[in-house]
Amino acid sequence: MNNSTFPQAETIEHIRQNLATVRQRIDQACVQAGRDPKDVRLLPVSKTHSAEFLRLAYAAGCRMLGENKIQEAYQKWQDLEDLTDLQWSIIGHLQTNKARYVARFATEFHALHSLRLAQVLDQRLTLEDRYLDVLVQVNTSGEKSKYGIAPEDAPELIKQLGQFPRLRVRGLMTLAMLSDDSEAVRGCFIQLRELRDSLQAIAPEGMELKELSMGMSGDFELAIAEGATIVRIGQAIFGARSQPDSYYWPQ
Ligand SMILES: *Cc1c(COP(=O)(O)O)cnc(C)c1O
């Protein structure tokens, strides 16, 4: 996907229009897949955009924003603390020593990848007297550089996650291969769905692995066809980013 195909949103009205267009495309993809559009949530991803710009997103109707880097998200949360009903979803790799920031303000975390991180998050959440919705990130592309747990290690982690009362485990997340080969991308989405289905059978009692967070600006229709329940979309709403993707993802 060529980033220049996404024009910069500059006003509340631009953002509102882009949200509506993306939502329409989501609904269409659902209808085509025989799915209920209510079962797919649009998570706008606001990384790289300033706190001041995010006030426009809020005015355009956004009440939850996805951010990849915790320091960047934490700063924006502080700058926008007056918007008390704005929630934050952390979707990028998190080092254990930064878990306390997530515990302080995030509603949702999509990139849980280890037992150690789960332990520290749970401890920090207890101190903050907060709860966190979490998704386990799975490396479905097989690329060594990608974050997330290997699919074969997921069952053991899922079994262990029942011991953390502050974590509400909701499902799985993946970043598909960045490729023009749509069948290879589709393969990543299918793998995540099939893994979710098999993990549900061994999940601790009371844990419902309902969510599949998969699909971005370039591939969300394909992800919906394969069962996505949350699509994480930045550029198609806010415009092309100035930073290359390598700033956010290991290459
Ligand atoms: C940036 C990002 C997205 C959104 O990508 P777009 O191309 O802007 O739609 C989705 N998921 C993660 C983990 C991201 O870092």
pLDDT grade, residue 247 (50/70/90)? Answer: confident
> Which residue segments constitute the domains of the chain, with CATH numbers given?
3-239 (3.20.20.10)
Instruction: Identify the helix (H) or strand (E) that includes residue 172.
Output: strand 167-173
When pLDDT is averaged across residues 215-227 and rounded to a whole number, the result is 97
Ligand 1 in contact with 18 (CB < 6 A)? no
Query: What pLDDT score was predicted for residue 4?
Result: 57
Q: What is the pLDDT, as a whole number, of residue 251?
A: 55
Work out the burial of residue 52: count CB atoms within 10 Å of its CB; fewer than 13 is exposed, 13-18 middle, 19 or more buried: exposed
92 lines ligand 1 (CB under 6 A): yes
Helices 51-59 and 70-79: angle between axes, nearest 10 degrees: 70
Q: Which long-range contacts (CB under 8 A, 24 or more apart) does 162-166 make?
A: 162/203, 162/204, 162/205, 162/206, 162/207, 164/118, 164/119, 164/121, 164/122, 165/122, 166/121, 166/122, 166/125, 166/126, 166/130, 166/131, 166/132
DSSP state of 245: G
Render pLDDT for 54-92 as a digit per residue (tens, 0 to 9).
999 999 999 999 999 999 999 999 999 999 999 999 999
What is the position in ligand 1's atom list of the atom closest to the CA of 218? 7
Residue of 66, 28, 22, 33 whose CA lies nearest to 47: 66
Q: Report the candidate in 112, 103, 95, 250 with the shortest Cα–Cα distance to residue 174.
A: 112
Angle of helix 51-59 versus helix 12-32 axis, rounded to 10: 60
Closest atom of ligand 1 to CA, residue 45: 4
Global pTM reads 0.96
- Specify the higher pLDDT residue, 239 or 250: 239
How many angstroms separate the alpha carbon of residue 47 from the centre of ligand 1? 8
pLDDT of residue 246: 72
